[in-house]
Every structure is written in C-alpha cells, then in structure tokens.
C-alpha cells in the first residue's frame, strides 16, 4: 500500500451494509493523516449517487474520518454559516487512493446557531430490518451516536470554534501551491 500524504487527492466510496455502493465523491484533498484520523477538504466536487445521478457540491467542505469512531464529520461552509453533516458510519479504510466506509443511515445535522437534530431514524430502522443489521452493529451505532452528540455538546474535535476554518485555510494553501 502506498503511503498517503498531505496534498494527495483521494476519491471517496460510501457503501451500505449489504456491500452496495451508496455514493462516491470525486476528489478530496488530504490535509492531515495521523493515528487517529484523516482530514480532507474539497470545493464543488462531483458526487455520484447509487442510481447514477451526479451533482457538484455547492461549496467548500472539510471532512473528518476516524480510525476508531463509527462516524465521520463534514463541516460545510454555506451562506448562513458553518453547518456540520455527520454520518454514522464505520471507521474509514484506505484502499489505494480511495477512502472507504459503510454508512449506517443515521445523520446528525448541526446548525450555525449550535442547535442539532438527528435525521433518518426511519431509514435506519428500515435498513436494519431489510439488511439484517446484527445486534452488535445496532448497539455500536446507537452508542456512537451518543458519543457524537456528546462531542457536539462539549464543542470538541471538529466542533471546536475555528477548527474547520483552520483546516480550510490549509486546503486553500495546498490548492494555491499546486496550481
């Protein structure tokens, strides 16, 4: 396996529990990689859904993937401020130049005012039954949702003020150096 380094461009493959591709992202630039996490960013990147439909993201995003946490966190810059979109998902793995993980439906959305809401509980329950999520997966996903909410309430990690902005500035510097 080749070593991933800052400035590398990776693709993202998100799967469902049944092994089917759910969504892919064309390009994410590595900003940091360490024992705990991988941090990437993109700007108006192409996303392709399982049905083949694709679109460009609207703006800039900084993504935090973890080696031992069952979620990933995406800080999204929008007109009304910084939003977070958090996916309950397996820890990431790198396969060549691709980030891979399994998405478990539940999402935590954090708004610029600090409020948050859990989304897609019905989708989770439907897929849990359809794809026969084992009890162990169900337990881990629910526990990790609580851990994610706790991180948000304590404003630590990517939720800490200035963290996403700091990484986005690193991204802008990498892009400027590469052009």
Local structure of residue 91 (DSSP, 8 states): P
Q: CA-CA distance, 59 to 45, in Å (whole number)?
A: 8
Catalytic residue chosen out of the listed positions 23, 67, 109, 121: 23
> What Cα–Cα distance (Å) separates residue 148 from each residue in 40, 46, 59, 156?
19, 27, 24, 10
Query: What's the chain's length in residues?
Result: 179
23 noted as active-site residue: yes
Assigned token pair, 156 = 């630590």
List residues with catalytic annotation.
23
């Amino acid at each position: 396996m080749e070593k991933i380094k800052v400035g590398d461009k990776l693709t993202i493959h998100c799967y469902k529990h049944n092994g089917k591709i759910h969504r892919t992202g064309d390009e994410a630039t590595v900003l940091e990689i360490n024992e705990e996490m991988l941090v990437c960013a993109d700007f108006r990147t192409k996303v392709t859904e399982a049905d083949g439909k694709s679109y460009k993201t609207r703006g800039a995003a900084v993504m935090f993937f973890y080696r031992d946490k069952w979620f990933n966190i995406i800080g999204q810059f929008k007109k009304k401020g910084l939003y977070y979109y958090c996916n309950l998902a397996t820890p990431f793995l790198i396969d060549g130049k691709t980030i891979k993980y399994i998405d478990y439906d539940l999402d935590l959305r954090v708004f610029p005012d600090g409020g948050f809401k859990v989304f897609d509980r019905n989708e989770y329950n439907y897929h849990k039954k359809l794809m026969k999520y084992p009890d162990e997966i169900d337990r881990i996903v629910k526990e990790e949702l609580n851990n994610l909410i706790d991180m948000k309430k304590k404003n630590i990690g990517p939720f800490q003020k200035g963290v996403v902005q700091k990484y986005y500035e690193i991204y802008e510097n990498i892009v400027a150096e590469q052009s």
